[in-house]
Amino acid sequence: MNVDYRELCIRLFGTDDVNELEKIAKKNKTGRKKSLSDKDIKEIIDMQQQGKTTQEIAQFFGVSRQTVSKYLNAFPKGNFTMRMNYMFRQKVCTEIYVDFLNRKIFVINRTNDILRRAFGVKTNPTWEDFEDFLLERCFSAERGNKKEILNALGVDSFDPLRIVEATNGRMAEDNQYINFVYESRRMQ
């Protein structure tokens, strides 16, 4: 079988010009997805903090939205078993990774607005800062009808983490709340 490749290129791509075909090939990359470096990942986070959408970031790096999301949603290395997404409306402001075994947290701020961040200006909060944050996101331990509230939430004692999990950390005076994500690999 004798194939006229020039005619085939014209039929498929509308041209047989080598330069035009190279442009088409670069535009329509196929094959293995581009791997991103640690520097790229930091830049992805910086771009998100500046308000760029996942689509805009993906276009900038020449990767899919799913690839960008994979890097944005990956748990850091270590014994982190829970991620708390501290939200304002539909936007993640701070990701809080929790290592209960070693009583450590790791945070990634996804906004430059310090009033919307879980720990304000603190970029390396301590376990005590985390405990204070949880207390701030639930009702007072001295509240008069504490037992009734705990019963309604299905919580048997004043445990700030369990209360925040039950209420998503919602407070009447703001539009911030918490979404919980559990590291399934470690939960098995």
Pair of tokens at residue 88: 């304002």
- Shortest CA distance to 13 belongs to which of 1, 3, 4, 25? 25
Q: What is the pLDDT of residue 64?
A: 87
Residue type, 140: S
Question: For 155-169, how does the pLDDT look when each residue is reduced to its tens digit (9 = 90+)?
Answer: 999 999 999 999 999
Question: For 10-58, how does the pLDDT look when each residue is reduced to its tens digit (9 = 90+)?
Answer: 888 888 888 888 887 777 665 555 678 888 888 888 888 787 888 999 9
Pair of tokens at residue 148: 């009734």
- Structural domains of the chain, with CATH: 33-74 (1.10.10), 82-187 (no CATH)
Are 22 and 9 contacting, i.e. CB atoms less than 8 angstroms apart? no
Helix (H, G, I), strand (E, B) or coil at 4: coil
pTM score, two decimals?
Answer: 0.67
